[in-house]
Structure formats: structure tokens, C-alpha cells
Amino acid sequence: MSKGKVRIYELSRELKLDNKDILAICEALGVAVKSHSSTISEDDADRIRAEARKAGSSAKTKIKRPVDRPVDKAVAPKKANEKTKGPNRPVRKQQILEIRRYASPDSQPDEPSSEPETGQVAANGSESDELLSPPSRPSRPTAPAPVSSAAAPASAAKPTSRSDSDDLTADDAPETPYLRPKLVQPPSRPAKPSARRSDDDARQIQLPVKRRDREEARRDSGRDAGRDTSEVGGAAKPGLSPKPSIELKRPVSRDTIRPSRESPRDTDTVTDNDDGGLSDSGSEIADLRRPSPRPPKHKAREEEDEERTESRPKSKTSKARRRSQVVIDEEEDFTDDGSGSSAGMPQVSLSLVRPPKPKSQQTQAKPAPTAKKISPRGSQTSRSQRRERRQEEEPEQPEMIVLTGSITVNDLADRMATPQTEIIKSLFFKGIATNVNQTLDLPTAKMVAEEFGIEVETTEEESEARKVTEMLDEADLENLHQRPPVVTIMGHVDHGKTSLLDYIRQAKVAQGEAGGITQHIGAYHVDLEQESGSRQIVFLDTPGHEAFTAMRARGARVTDIAILVVAADDGVRPQTIEAISHAKAAGVPIVVAINKIDKETAQPDRVKQELMEHNLVPEEWGGDTIMVPVSAITGESVDTLLEMLLLVSEVEDLHANPDRLARGTVIEAHLDKARGPVATLLVQNGTLNVGDAIVAGAVFGKVRAMIDDRGDRVESTLPSFAVEVLGLNDVPPAGEEFEVYADEKEARAAADARAVEQRQSRLQQAMASRRVTLNSLSAKAQEGDLKELNLVLKGDVQGSLEAILASLQQLPQDEVQIRVLMAAPGEITETDVDLAAASSAVIIGFNTTLAPGARQSADRLGVDIRDYEIIYKLLEDIEGAMEGLLDPEQVEEPLGQVEVRAIFPARRGTVAGCYVLSGKVTRNCRVRVERGGETLYQGNLDSLKRMKDDVREVNAGFECGIAVNGFNDWQEGDIIDAFRLVTKRRTLTPA
């Protein structure tokens, strides 16, 4: 029952009244109800309660009258007299009508005699249904009357109910054949569901009465009179007592069933009598319900029922009966109500005729066995229940989730509150076959979530330059030692970064570089002698060219102080600003070196002013940024700069614990032909020793040898120092953190686990991107305007490759797509050539060499291998190659202008007599005819004549005759633009 709603039968139980009483009160109070199973509001219930209390037990009796009276009238004149005192006459009429309708051959003679009106109905015979229904309607208005007529004595009702019951019991056995058709009362059953119409209600109320009337009539005829009387005697009082439905109905039915096992029908009727005395309506139905195997409270009944069933002959009929009982059992309203039903046969028909039960009731129907028996309905119900339950259980999909990194399909499904299968399906359609335990990298997970309409917030989008963890554990705090600052030099290209470091190191690094550009990170340390002793500063030489943005960012990740080199003669440039952003993002202090002050054009103050626009205010101007004007060539003020660096490092309070296993960052790594993988590692905490088991990402290694920045072999490396490490089993990616493990096995396992994870992630990513690319490309390919340039990229070091890849991404790829099939450090091998040959790729080598046999293989397979030492050249060539793939475009090239001065009719159309104003006009050139600024025609010039001769071209200042197929509408003054179409090679960036 829904909240705030009360069923009539619940109320009747509560008030220990009969359903009919409550229905009568409802009518009296004008509460619209249809049956005992109808629901009413709590307010109406209160009103009814109040009314019931007010009326008291006597009122209850009176309330019963409207229903009882007709029965009395019909069957026993004595009772009818009593009822005539009450105001409920119209009800009697209905009841009589019904009696007629259901009259058995036995009862027919009685019924007509009981009420004159019935005569008409009886005459109609089979139409009794239609005839019965209408009269039942008018009965309603009269129903309230009994409530108000409190004067009716309780005793009047009591005998009535008793006699009803008696009749039922008495005539049961002999009358069965006739009762069957009667009890199949369609109108009475539809009345049960609360959704039925009001006339159905009327029938429902009347049905038991009719029956009673009939039974009474039979009893009057003398059948089983003694038994009736005895049973009624027991049931009559409780029937009028205020607790029929709860206390008496069920227990009594059980008791009454037992003694009458031999005669099931009798049993039923006895039960009816008991109930009937209480609620004279529907005692038969009440009986049907009792055997219900479902509700636990009815267990005892079930047992009895089983017994009873066993006692009956096991026939098809009994089976059917049982089946029908099961169905009926579902309808709790009937059961609880205790309103009529009788022996087995009628039950069958009742169940068949019964209208579909309201959902709310269906869901109350319980135990599995019953559900099985009534499979169609039961399965539907359970299915819908399951669906509802599932819906309730399914958590709502979030609008937004936060992802911090790789995540398994399972976890993602949980976060998204989405079935795993849905996610797997979605990935499958993208060409990624996964299972629930597979790990998705962040971009893939994000893509999936977004496809399901869930926003994704990632915490990974922080600047790459953000300073990595301090690399210090709590345990280190007790053993901290000061460490040298790690300084990154940043700045715009050619502002003198390398020169400055070179001066500091007293070595000429810049001169040895190809193209004069620093192409990969170097890490160097310098010793500074101070009064307090020797101090060190470690420099990371990061290049300033924009192609190396990623590398510079990585430099800032491990740096403690940033030196911003700004050329005094050039000022703040784009990469200067970019460097400031990186340093600020990393949260490292900036020391500005205003370089090239030895130059005449140097304007250090202008540089300071420009820097102020970027919130770097010099100390001398009241700010907190140290700015030192220096010259990398003359060395002027370089010492001051170094002092400032030490000063800042002291303020920064840089410490590490050298007495622990090392950890730090891979600055650079490459594959050396002779030495194998070589990695430049910056130790950020602990001490790195030869023989250490090291793990960098998925790369495992045992430190075989260490070479410091001066080319010396060292046995151990302290915090803040960088060394080249040999002994790794692969080239670790630059920027990867490394860690030394105490146990080699453990280190290997950690590396292996990461390798598996990375491989999966990479595969998925590759498949996803390829799929996406193919998808997006296919459309363009169909249009014929898509080209691909496949590349195999080999470089000296990882950093160079990243720089090249970043630069390639900058190239416009709307029409020509660059696909880098492979980018790896190392020399170009035959395998690379095979890959390139298989995919029509070009091999790009950067600062690398060819392995033996690679050149021959490339020649044989027709693979193009390009070597580069300077990134500019590489990019230029790739751009050229991409442009070469572009379809050439046709461009108009103007020839001259011609004016029409006369028109001559010709054999075919007209000829324009023209004068060439400028340039020239040629045969078969393209022409555009213009008049008043409007283009009238565009096409080919078909005939060009001078005098009467065909000519190839006519120059400015001469007259000519022009004919154009398809245009004859010449007018004097028309201008003809002569031009030709030329094919031009296109560039990637439109001019």
C-alpha cells in the first residue's frame, strides 16, 4: 500500500468491521470507493474511522443492513420486515434482480415469488446480466441511508447473516450443479480490482447477497434445515461482532474446514458461514483464498489445503481447481477481504473471469512455487520486478570523473557507473580489444568516458615543467646534507647560452656543435673556489630553439635555479618569455644573465624594462629578481653571476641524503654502437654506485660503469651530479625517473611489470590513434585529396627525436598527413629499411649512421634514406616532400585586354570586331567577357583573325576578329579579358 492510502479492507480490519460496513460508511460520507480493495486517502479513512466510532457497535449493525436486508426480504419475510424499517429499499431490488439472474432450476421457483420485480428480469433469461447491472447503479445513492438510520436494531442484521450462512451450507451438496454457473459471475469479479467502474462495485456488493438469498430460499424449501441452524448458531454472533475479518475469518475457516473434510463443499460453505456471518459478502471467494500457498501467514491453510486436496479424488478438475486457486491467491484483496467464494467449481470460473490484477497487487504476490504455477503472469511480474530492482540498484552515471593516470576497464566502469561490457564494446568499435582487467592509458580512458557523455578532469595536465617531487623520504630528514644547485640555462636562440656555459666551463662546446646549435641536453658541473671552501654548481645546458621546448621543459623539472640568458642587444624574445613561463611553472627562482654587454648595441636597461613586463623586476629597481649583465665572450661579471647562483642556492636550502639508494632523473639516453644503451642520469637523492640495480621506467640495468661530465670514470655519484651510466638493458626515455633497488630480482620484477603495462598502453594508444586516423583519413581519401608521408625516424639521442617529432607536428597536415611509423635512437638498420619498404616510408636519420648492409638494402628496395645534422634542414626537406605530394594548382595568368568595337554577323553566330587594349590575345586562350563590370561569359577563344586570316596571337594596338563558341551576344564596348591557366606547385603554407 502506498503511503497515505488505505484500503477498505484494511480499514475494516482495523475497525473490526465488515467491509460492507465500511463501504456503507463510505457511501454515506460520499467517499468514492468501488470495493473492499479500493484505496482511499488517509483523510477519508479518518473520517470513516470517526464515523464508525460515532456509530458504535450498533451503528455497525445498521450499516450492514443495506446488504443484509434484501437477502432477508428475498428469502425470509420475517427479516424483510425488519429491514423495511431501514431506509435501504432500492438495494433490495437489486438483490432480487440478481437472484433471478442466477437462479438455478431449484431456486427459480423461489426467487420470483420473493420479489415481484424479479419477474421481468427472469423473463429476459440470458439478458439478465445487462438487466442486472443497471438496477445496481441506482442502489448506490440509497446506500448512505443505512448509515444515518442508526435506529435499525442490530438484531435485525444478525439473523440475516446467519440464515445466509446456513443456506449456503445446507444446500451446497445438492445444489452444486446449479451453483456452478451462477458463481461464474463475471460482473462480481471485475468489481474487485479497484479500477472497476461503479456499477461493477454495485454488483460486487450484491453478489454475496444474491447468493444468500438464493440459499435462504433453498433453506426455506426445507433442505438441510437442521444443519444450517446449528452452524449459523455458532457463526451468527461473531458475524455481527466487530472483528470478522481478522480474528474470525481465517481461524474459523481452518477450524471449519477440518470437520468437513469429507465433504469439501460443505467445508467451504461452513467457512462461508463463519465468514458470511461476519461479512455476508463473498464468503466463497474467501474460501478460495484460504488455501493460498503463498503468504507465510497462510501456511497453516496451505497444509490444510493439501490435506484436503489429497482427500479429494485426483482428477483433472481438481487440478484445474488448484490452478485456479493459485491464481486467485495472488489477489490479496480477496483473501483479506474475505468476501465471497465457494466450492471448487466456481473457483475455476472465477479465476478465469477475473480481470487482470492491478500491478501493485501483483507485486505483492509472493512465493516462488506459486509464481511458477502461474508462469505467464508470474514470469512477467518477476521480470518487471527484476528490472525495477536493477534500475533501483544501478547507480546514476556521474557527470564528471577525475582521472589521474592509467586505469583498468573494471575501475573505469565503476567510476563511470557503466557496465564493463559497454566500455569493452565501445573500445572494440574503436579497434581496441580489451578485457576488464586491462589497463587503459589516460587518453584512452578519457576518450571512452567522454563518449559516454562524462566529462573527465585529469590531474596530469599540469605543466610538464613542474618541479618533480623532492625525492626525499621522511627517513632522509635525519641525514640531510647540503647539495650543489642544479642550474638550467634557458633563453632565446643565439642569446649566448652555450657560450656562457662554455666560458664557465672554460671549454669550447659551442664551436663543436653542428650548425652551431645545442642539440641535446648536457649536464656539467663546475667547481668554484670560495673563501668558505670549494662549492659546486651543476649546469644543465638546455637549448633555446623552440623545437626543443619539450627538452627544456624537462630540464626545468629537475632544476633548482634557472638562468635566463637575454642578449642585451636583442632583448626579450618569444623563447625568452617561454622560458620564463617554464621556470615559473616549475617554481624555481630565476637569475637573469643579460648577455653580450660587451657589444656596442647592448642595452641592458632596455632588457630590464622588457623583463618587468613579465613580472621580473630587478633588485636595483626594487624587485626581487637578480639580474647580472655579463659577457660570455669577455667573461665580464660571470663570477658575479656564479656568486649569485650560490647565494640563491643557499636561500633555497638544497639538501639530500647521500646515505641511501639513489634516485633521480634520466636527463638523456641514447644507444651507443660500442657501449650499448647510455643514459645521462642526474642523481637527486642518495648515492649511485657502480653495481647498483637500477630501474628507469621499464628499463632495468646494473650499473656497469659511470663516466662523469669530464669524461672520468667514477665509482659513485653524489646528489645533484650527473653521470653517464652504462649497463642498462635498453634506452630509457629521457625525463623518466630512476630508482636503485637493493635487490636485483626485485628491480627486474619492477621493470618487467612496468614494461608489460607500458606495452599494453602503447598498443592501445597506437590502435586507437590509427583507427581514428584511418577513420578521419578515409573520408578524405575517398575525395581523393588526402596524401600520406610515412617516415621512419632514427636519431642520435631521444631528445633530438622528441624535438623533431614536436617540430613535425607543427607542420600543416590538412592535406598531407605525416605518419611517423617509428622514432627511435640508434643507427639505421636493415630492419628499418624493411619497415620503410613495406610501408612506402622515407627514412630520416638525424646525427646517426647506417648499419652495415642498410644502404645496400635501401638501394635494393628503393627506400629513400635522408641524413641530417641540422633540424632546420630536416624540417625543410620534409616540408618539401609534403608539398611534392600536394596536387598542383591551376592559376590564371593574364594575357591582355580587348575591347569590342563592332559586331559582324557570320555564318555561324557573330564575330566581334575588337581592338587589343593591352597585352595580347592568343588563339585558344581563355576569355572572360565583361559588360558593365559583370561577367557574361567565360570560355575558350575559338577563332582569332586579323583581316581575314587566322592568326596565333594579336598584340596590343592591333585590331582583330574574335569568335567564341557559345557566345554571340556581343555588344560594342564589351571588354574581353584574355588569360591562360598555368599549373603551379603548391606550398604547405599558403602565401
> If binding means CB under 6 A, how many residues of this protein chain bind ligand GTP?
22
Q: Per rule CB under 6 A, is residue 62 in the interface with ligand GTP? A: no
| Contact with ligand GTP (CB under 6 A) among 6, 15, 493, 678 | 493
**969 annotated to bind ligand:** no
State the Cα–Cα distance between residues 362 and 357, nearest whole angstrom: 6
Q: What is the 8-class DSSP label of residue 625?
A: B
CB 536 within 8 A of CB 527: yes
Write down the least CB distance from residue 722 to ligand GTP, Å. 19
278 closest CA partner among 234, 243, 231? 243
Contacting residues for 854 by C-beta, under 8 A, at least 6 apart: 827, 828, 829, 830, 832, 833, 865
In terms of DSSP H, where are the helices of 674-797?
744-783
Q: Per rule CB under 6 A, is residue 490 in the interface with ligand GTP? A: no
The owner of cell 588563339 is 923
Each residue 501-520 as x (binds ligand GTP by CB under 6 A) or -, in order, gives: ---------x-----xxx--
Judged by CB under 6 A, the stretch of 47-55, 79-87, 310-318, 497-505 that binds ligand GTP is 497-505
Instruction: Return the ∠ at Cα 163 (arms to 159 and 168), rounded to 5°.
Output: 155
Write down the least CB distance from residue 630 to ligand GTP, Å. 7
Q: Which is nearer to ligand GTP, 564 or 688 (CB)?
A: 564
Counting beta carbons within 10 angstroms of the beta carbon of residue 675, is it exposed (0 to 12), middle (13 to 18) or buried (19 or more)? middle
Write down the least CB distance from residue 751 to ligand GTP, Å. 35
Judged by CB under 6 A, the stretch of 143-151, 359-367, 428-436, 539-547 that binds ligand GTP is 539-547
Q: Per rule CB under 6 A, is residue 883 in the interface with ligand GTP? A: no
Write down the least CB distance from residue 872 to ligand GTP, Å. 11
Contacting residues for 712 by C-beta, under 8 A, at least 6 apart: none
Residues 596-655 that bind ligand GTP (CB under 6 A): 596, 598-599, 631-633
State the Cα–Cα distance between residues 770 and 418, nearest whole angstrom: 26
Q: Per rule CB under 6 A, is residue 499 in the interface with ligand GTP? A: yes
Q: Per rule CB under 6 A, is residue 682 in the interface with ligand GTP? A: no
State the Cα–Cα distance between residues 748 and 700, nearest whole angstrom: 6
Write down the least CB distance from residue 485 to ligand GTP, Å. 20
Q: What is the 8-class DSSP label of residue 797?
A: B
Q: Per rule CB under 6 A, is residue 595 in the interface with ligand GTP? A: yes
Secondary structure class of 587 (helix, strand, coil) = coil
State the Cα–Cα distance between residues 349 and 342, nearest whole angstrom: 11
Write down the least CB distance from residue 494 to ligand GTP, Å. 4
Amino acid at 484: P
Write down the least CB distance from residue 580 to ligand GTP, Å. 16
Judged by CB under 6 A, the stretch of 338-346, 489-497, 826-834, 880-888 that binds ligand GTP is 489-497
State the Cα–Cα distance between residues 232 and 274, nearest whole angstrom: 8
Judged by CB under 6 A, the stretch of 64-72, 199-207, 541-549, 760-768 that binds ligand GTP is 541-549
State the Cα–Cα distance between residues 177 and 491, nearest whole angstrom: 110
| Contact with ligand GTP (CB under 6 A) among 544, 589, 677, 686 | 544
The owner of cell 426445507 is 222
Q: Per rule CB under 6 A, is residue 494 in the interface with ligand GTP? A: yes
Gyration radius of the chain's alpha carbons: 52
Q: Per rule CB under 6 A, is residue 807 in the interface with ligand GTP? A: no
Counting beta carbons within 10 angstroms of the beta carbon of residue 952, is it exposed (0 to 12), middle (13 to 18) or buried (19 or more)? exposed
**595 annotated to bind ligand:** yes
Q: Per rule CB under 6 A, is residue 573 in the interface with ligand GTP? A: no
Instruction: Return the ∠ at Cα 527 (arms to 664 and 678), rounded to 5°.
Output: 40
Q: Per rule CB under 6 A, is residue 495 in the interface with ligand GTP? A: yes
Q: Per rule CB under 6 A, is residue 158 in the interface with ligand GTP? A: no
The owner of cell 588526402 is 786
| Contact with ligand GTP (CB under 6 A) among 545, 663, 670, 794 | 545
Q: Which is nearer to ligand GTP, 273 or 499 (CB)?
A: 499
Q: Per rule CB under 6 A, is residue 787 in the interface with ligand GTP? A: no
Q: What is the 8-class DSSP label of residue 828?
A: B
* Exposure string over 864-886, b if 16+ CB within 10 A, otherwise e: ebebbbbbeebbeebbebbbebe
**492 annotated to bind ligand:** yes
Backbone angles phi, psi at 907, to 5 degrees: -60, -45
Judged by CB under 6 A, the stretch of 311-319, 380-388, 390-398, 538-546 that binds ligand GTP is 538-546
Write down the least CB distance from residue 665 to ligand GTP, Å. 22
Write down the least CB distance from residue 677 to ligand GTP, Å. 26
Distance, C-alpha 451 to centroid of its chain? 7
- Could you tell me the CA-to-CA distances from 629 to 232, 529, 583, 633 in Å, in that order? 122, 22, 20, 12
Write down the least CB distance from residue 582 to ligand GTP, Å. 15
CB 915 within 8 A of CB 945: no
| Contact with ligand GTP (CB under 6 A) among 159, 238, 293, 496 | 496
| Contact with ligand GTP (CB under 6 A) among 20, 79, 93, 497 | 497
State the Cα–Cα distance between residues 554 and 576, nearest whole angstrom: 16
Write down the least CB distance from residue 575 to ligand GTP, Å. 8
Distance, C-alpha 756 to centroid of its chain? 28
User: Cα dihedral angle (493, 497, 499, 502), rounded to 10 degrees?
Assistant: -140
| Contact with ligand GTP (CB under 6 A) among 135, 293, 338, 543 | 543
State the Cα–Cα distance between residues 489 and 721, nearest whole angstrom: 16
**276 annotated to bind ligand:** no
Q: Which is nearer to ligand GTP, 6 or 510 (CB)?
A: 510
Q: Per rule CB under 6 A, is residue 550 in the interface with ligand GTP? A: no
**544 annotated to bind ligand:** yes
**36 annotated to bind ligand:** no
Write down the least CB distance from residue 518 to ligand GTP, Å. 4
Counting beta carbons within 10 angstroms of the beta carbon of residue 202, is it exposed (0 to 12), middle (13 to 18) or buried (19 or more)? buried
**20 annotated to bind ligand:** no
For residue 762, the tally of other CB atoms under 10 A from its CB is: 11
**39 annotated to bind ligand:** no
Residues 10-49 that bind ligand GTP (CB under 6 A): none
Q: Which is nearer to ligand GTP, 632 or 656 (CB)?
A: 632
Judged by CB under 6 A, the stretch of 427-435, 488-496, 871-879, 939-947 that binds ligand GTP is 488-496
The owner of cell 433442505 is 223
Q: Per rule CB under 6 A, is residue 341 in the interface with ligand GTP? A: no
Q: Per rule CB under 6 A, is residue 571 in the interface with ligand GTP? A: no
Q: Per rule CB under 6 A, is residue 866 in the interface with ligand GTP? A: no
Judged by CB under 6 A, the stretch of 142-150, 592-600, 850-858, 909-917 that binds ligand GTP is 592-600
Amino acid at 307: E
Q: Per rule CB under 6 A, is residue 800 in the interface with ligand GTP? A: no
**541 annotated to bind ligand:** yes
Amino acid at 866: R
- Would you say the C-alpha torsion 139, 141, 143, 145 has a positive or negative sign? negative
List the binding residues.
Answer: 491-498, 541-545, 595-598
Site residues (vs ligand GTP, CB under 6 A): 491, 493-499, 510, 516-518, 543-545, 595-596, 598-599, 631-633
List the binding residues for GTP.
Answer: 491-498, 541-545, 595-598
